[in-house]
Structure 1
Amino acid sequence: MRPSPRLQAAIEILDLVIDAAATGGAAADTIIQRYFASRRYAGSKDRAAIRDLVFAAIRRSAERPLSGRAAMLGLAEERPDLLSLFDGSPHAPEPAQADEPRAAASLVPGWLEPAFRARFGTAMEVEARALAARAPLDLRVNRLRSACPSDIAAQLGAQPIAGLPWGLRLDPPQPLDKHPLYLSGMIEVQDAASQHCAAIAGARPGETVVDLCAGAGGKTLALAADMEGQGRLIASDTDRARLSGMAPRLSRAGASGLVEARLLNPGHESGAFADVAGLADLVLVDAPCSGTGTWRRNPELRWRLTPQRLDALLAVQARLIDVAAGLLKPGGRLVYAVCSVLESEGPAQAAAAAGRLGLTIADSMALSPATDGCDGFFVARLTGSC
């Protein structure tokens, strides 16, 4: 493909991403995959170039653009080489007009700026820029496979992550889904922030542990490794597809014998845990959240979040914390985590839970990409009798 048709393809994909952001549709990565699945003529170099254009436009504008064309015209203001590609040739964008809408450059949606300033103060712009940048690839070495971090680091050219004895970082990232170390379960892809979460949880061999919002099982696998394959680990979620997709990961990691998957009925989660109520040593609540801490990986999330959506998430988080508290045995540990940098979802939610449930915040950690080199994240460990 010539550069001009590549640009037109990027505009078409952006239109789809913008529509999905407004309607709760698929993620940008999924949309890109679907777009190319029906366009086999696009070669690997074409696909890479188009993808880069799409994400450059997404990262540039925190506010949802009017259209893919407006997003790309905005990007062209910073990259004049792109403006010449609006040439009206076959399969190319029509020439740009002076009065056409152009997406403005921004780092944070306007309605979220006060919350970001409350969280970061004078460092807000630095942190917001870090959230708009590309992320490195973090790995967790799997102790269940008797893997050695230093040996794997040498094989991959990875660097250790400070404070995480099983953590490694590849920067720039490289694809590992076909690598023998990945296929054999020696490594898992997991951001350092999630690894810190598992470390604070401190799952131990022989314990009864519940991962209440397990999703595809990333933190479940980290908990299983810390339990050294001994005890009872329940991985639960309301999403059947994500929960069923965990099985191959568990098998690869050597954790199938420890983990029990349990599908939950949304809004009625407590009913699925009659056999565990009052018995759990540890319950991890990696709650649904705004995802503001993951903008490096999913920058279009800035186009999806609304004040109404955030209010709904805060209510869900509080309810799930209450469900988790009912599962704990006296002295058990409730670990609350969100991939968010917002005070309302992090420290404020944890403090409210502690007051409501009579718990004590024994430990907490707020992470951000500019300061800590990982996703934005908050995790707190609460203890006490429930």
Structure 2
Amino acid sequence: MTPPARTQAAIELLDRIVAAAAEGGAAADTLIGRYFADRRYAGSKDRRAVRELVYRAVRRCGERPAGGRAAMLAVAGEDVGLAATFDGSAHGPEPIGADESAAEVGLAPVWLTELLRASGIDEGELPALVDRAPLDLRVNRLRAEPAEIATRLEGAEAVAGLPDALRLPAGTDVAALSGLVEVQDAGSQAVTLATLACPGERVVDLCAGGGGKTLALAAMMAGEGTVLACDTDRGRLQRLPPRAERAGVTIVETRLLNPNREMEMLPEWRGAADVVLVDAPCSGTGTWRRNPEARWRLTPERLERLVALQAHLLEVAAELVRPGGALVHVVCSLLDGEGRGQVATFLAAHPGWTAERPSVGFGRAHGLGLRLTPAHDGTDGFFVARLKRPC
């Protein structure tokens, strides 16, 4: 592909990504994969170059742009070489018109930026929210040792404070290590430590999804005890058993729950769990480094629904915790309404419950919990709080 053809391909992909963001369609990575599956002629260098252009444009446009061309023009306005590819050649984009408008450059939609500032994210930390993220791994100690895995991966570095974590350059291929490692952000690994899960305990991962934190819990427990992995999404939950088998994990049980009727499937777990982890569905404002188009998907209405869902899940979790046990609330969000505010609301409604600020080697005190940010911790953004039920 010529440079103009690469630019045109990026514009076409951006058109699809913008439309999907507006309509709740597939993620950018999925759309890029589909695009090139239909274009086998594009070599690996072409695919890489187009992908870089796409994400460069997504990161530069805070508000959802009108379309792919407007998004790419925002980048071209800062890059003379890229602007030159708008040459009207056979497979390239049409020349830039004298009065043609580019998408607005920015961090995020204005309403979201204001919420971040109101939640205590200062100006100096904002740009890091959309930087490119490294590739972090969690070494599965049930099957391997970090030092051994590090010798097999060029550029692998230990992550201070996380003995099972390795950091690699973005794009490193780790498929050959399936079962020995899990791709998991260092921040995600750190907040899981807030559970203090121990061998022999009964632990519930209430929003397990595909099971990243479930498998980390099983490793923390050295394969002894029980981890009940729950979710209301059958497709996501079905991905967990094969991952557990590859990882040599035998203490995980899965259970599909009905939304808003979760306790119907959990009667024997009422008041029986040593720890309940609520890795709640959230805005994902802490994960923009990996999913920058998520800024275009969130609306005030969707955020309001997510906050209500989180509050509901905390109520469900509270019923499962045994006297003296713990509830750990985690969101990959930097918004106080989903983190600090949720915890304050929960404690006000549950006399006797107390907050026990976690110590995970990352983050800063925020409200009654900890907050991790890309700028301060070099991880995705998270809020985590550990809540104790009275004996």
1:135/1:296 contact within 8 Å kept: yes
Give per-residue Cα distances to partners, 1:136-187, cap 9 Å, x unaligned: 1111121211x22233334324222122121221245512113xxx23x222
Determine the structure 1 residue equivalent to 2:322: 329
Q: Counterparts of 1:186-205 in structure 2 under 5 Å?
A: 186-205=180-199
TM-score by length of structure 2 reads 0.94
Match for 1:317 among 296, 310, 316?
A: 310
User: What is the distance in 1 between the residues matched to 2:92 and 2:114?
Assistant: 40
Q: Counterparts of 1:85-164 in structure 2 under 5 Å?
A: 85-121=85-121, 123-124=122-123, 126-145=124-143, 147-156=144-153, 157-164=155-162
2:107/2:113 contact within 8 Å kept: no
User: What is the distance in 1 between the residues matched to 2:130 and 2:113?
Assistant: 15
1:249 aligns with 2:243: yes
1:74/1:102 contact within 8 Å kept: yes
1:298 aligns with 2:296: no
1:108/1:128 contact within 8 Å kept: no
Determine the structure 2 residue equivalent to 1:367: 372
2:321/2:389 contact within 8 Å kept: no
User: What is the distance in 1 between the residues matched to 2:10 and 2:213?
Assistant: 34
User: What is the distance in 1 between the residues matched to 2:370 and 2:161?
Assistant: 13
User: What is the distance in 2 between the residues matched to 1:282 and 1:32?
Assistant: 39
The structure carrying a bigger helix percent of its residues is 1
Determine the structure 2 residue equivalent to 1:177: 175
Aligned length: 378
1:153/1:168 contact within 8 Å kept: yes
Match for 1:236 among 230, 233, 241?
A: 230
One-letter code aligned to 1:56: R
CA deviation after TM superposition for structure 1 residue 93, in Å: 1.1
1:273 aligns with 2:271: no
User: What is the distance in 2 between the residues matched to 1:73 and 1:311?
Assistant: 33
TM-score by length of structure 1 reads 0.95
1:18/1:67 contact within 8 Å kept: yes
2:322/2:389 contact within 8 Å kept: no
1:356 aligns with 2:361: no
One-letter code aligned to 1:278: G
Determine the structure 1 residue equivalent to 2:360: none
CA deviation after TM superposition for structure 1 residue 212, in Å: 0.5
User: What is the distance in 2 between the residues matched to 1:104 and 1:80?
Assistant: 18
1:354/1:360 contact within 8 Å kept: yes
RMSD over aligned Cα, in angstroms?
A: 1.4
Cα gap change, 1:35/1:173 in structure 2, threshold over 3 Å: closer, same or farther? closer
Classify the secondary structure of the residue corresponding to 2:207.
coil
CA deviation after TM superposition for structure 1 residue 267, in Å: 1.8
Classify the secondary structure of the residue corresponding to 2:264.
helix
One-letter code aligned to 1:133: D
2:142/2:248 contact within 8 Å kept: yes
Determine the structure 2 residue equivalent to 1:378: 383
Instruction: Point out where structure 2 has 5 or more consecutive residues left out of the alignment.
Output: 358-368
Give per-residue Cα distances to partners, 1:81-103, cap 9 Å, x unaligned: 11121122212211111222211
One-letter code aligned to 1:94: E
Higher mean C-alpha displacement, 92-101 vs 340-349:
92-101
User: What is the distance in 1 between the residues matched to 2:245 and 2:200?
Assistant: 20
CA deviation after TM superposition for structure 1 residue 135, in Å: 0.5
User: What is the distance in 1 between the residues matched to 2:39 and 2:167?
Assistant: 34
Q: Counterparts of 1:340-351 in structure 2 under 5 Å?
A: 340-351=333-344
2:330/2:383 contact within 8 Å kept: yes
One-letter code aligned to 1:338: V
Higher mean C-alpha displacement, 154-163 vs 60-69:
154-163
Q: Percent identity?
A: 57
